[in-house]
Amino acid sequence: MLAYIVRRLFNAIITLLVVTAVTFAIFFAIPKATGSDPALLYIGKQSDPAAIEGIRTKMGFNDPIIVQYGKFLKGIVAGRDYANGPDVTHCPAPCLGYSFSTDQEVTPLLMEDLPVTLSLALGAAVLWLIIGISFGVISALRRGTFIDRAAMTTALAGVSLPVYFTGLLASAIFIYWLEWLPQGQYVPFTENPAEWFTGLLLPWITLAFLFAATYARLTRANMLETLGEDYVRTARAKGLTERVVIGKHALRSGLTPIVTIFGLDLGALLGGAVLTETVFNLRGLGYQALTAIRQNDLPIILGVTLIAAFFIVFANLIVDLVYGWIDPRVRLA
């Protein structure tokens, strides 16, 4: 098991390195392709050539790309100093550079947005796991009945309706028409847990609806397959109650594929749920990324991309480890 963990960990680090290299290359290539000068983006168009050259030296835009990449990596791991002669700015680790548009450090900017996205994604995940899996299991057990058809039709709607539709519809009904919920606003959990909860409830439901639909369909398909397995028949032949047969023997293997997809979904969401954050005006990573894209703010885009990649790789690592724990056959492979 230890060798397995070490191997996975090593893979994760390699993947992250490749991701940083690729995103950095894009970061470097885009200004070239669009003919814009990153130094100009920092300082504004009317500046004199000396000031522009100063920025170039300070930000290291004159260095070869490989050196820039090296400094960028060092910045993430150990922090870095931007220097132009006596003018030195220290950027502490993990340093992701400075925003083009506001000149702020990227890392603290993103760390401010992270709790919003984290709250949104984790809360929604809890909801969609509970709803998706229970409806999937019930549908599989009551295959072909009214409950099954109703659940699967709803699920089909959930998969096909985009978040900006269901989100706006939900806002219209619950906030403006029924007035059950206050107009959405993010309140940090540490400030007021109750308002944190009510503010996020609709975004959670909207996001969970989308994912619960996929999970219900997936769970149903997996459960139907597992229920036909020989070892489920064996479990029944032993005289186990139906509750144990389903809840222990069938569910254990029926839910294994869910673990994989859940890791990927959650990892992707933690990098920013762009649509949901925009619809509900939540200032999370997705919202930040969208703003950055509009303003061509490359350091922020790069930062969000790296955080998103980190979460996906990290989630995958967790999935691999959990998988090794669930399925003893994986450990040997």
Partner 1 sequence: MSTPIARPYLEVKDLNVRFETDDGIVQAVTDSSFSVERGKTLGIVGESGSGKSVTSLAVLGLHRTRSNAKVSGEIWLDDQELVTATDEQVRKLRGGKMAMIFQDPLSAMHPYFTVGSQIVEAYRVHHPETNKKVAREKAIDMLARVGIPQPERRFNDYAHQFSGGMRQRAMIAMALVNDPSLLIADEPTTALDVTVQAQILDLIRDLQDEFGSAVIMITHDLGVVAELADDVLVMYGGKVIEKGPAIDTFQNPQHPYTWGLLGSMPRLDREVRDRLNPVKGTPPSLINLPDGCAFHPRCPYAGRNGNRSFTEVPMLRGDVHKVACHLPPDDRTTIFQQEVLPNL
238 near partner 1, rule: CB under 8 A: yes
Instruction: Return the bridge partners of 88, or none.
Output: 83
Nearest residue (CB) to partner 1, 256 versus 291:
256
**Binding-site residue total for partner 1 (CB under 8 A)?**
21
**DSSP bridge pairs for 83:** 88
What CA–CA distance (Å, rounded) separates 233 from 240?
10
Is position 229 an interface residue for partner 1 (rule: CB under 8 A)?
A: yes
> Which is nearer to partner 1, 45 or 243 (by Cβ)?
243
DSSP 228-266: TSHHHHHHHHTT--HHHIIIIIIHHHHSHHHHHHHHHHH
Give just the sign of the alpha carbon dihedral 320, 323, 328, 330: negative
Residue 184 and residue 150: Cα distance in Å, rounded? 31
Q: Where are the alpha helices (DSSP H) in 142-160?
A: 146-160
Rounded CA separation 69/304 (Å): 17
Q: What are the beta bridge partners of residue 105? A: 98
Structure tokens at 270: 């933690």
For partner 1, what does the binding mask look like between residues 311 and 330, x meaning CB under 8 A?
A: ---------------xxxx-
Q: Which is nearer to partner 1, 253 or 296 (CB)?
A: 253
| Of the residues 87, 173, 242, 264, which one makes contact with partner 1 according to CB under 8 A | 242
Residue 22 and residue 293 in contact, taking contact as beta carbons nearer than 8 Å: no
* H/E stretch holding 52: helix 49-59
Does 195 engage in binding with partner 1 (CB under 8 A)? no
Asked if 253 interacts with partner 1 (CB under 8 A), we say yes
Contact segment (CB under 8 A) with partner 1 among 122-130, 196-204, 237-245, 281-289 equals: 237-245
Residues numbered 131 to 190 that lie near partner 1 (CB under 8 A) are none
Options 32, 74, 149, 252; binder of partner 1; rule CB under 8 A: 252
In this structure, what DSSP letter does residue 183 have? P
Q: How far is the CB of 245 from partner 1 (least distance, A)?
A: 8
CB of 298 to partner 1, least distance (A): 47
Among 10, 164, 176, 231, binds partner 1 (CB under 8 A): 231
Distance in angstroms (rounded) separating the CA atoms of residues 179 and 181: 6
Site string for partner 1, 272-311 (x = CB under 8 A): ----------------------------------------
Using the rule CB under 8 A, is 240 a contact of partner 1?
Answer: yes
Binding residues (CB under 8 A) for partner 1: these are: 229-231, 233-242, 244, 249, 252-253, 326-329
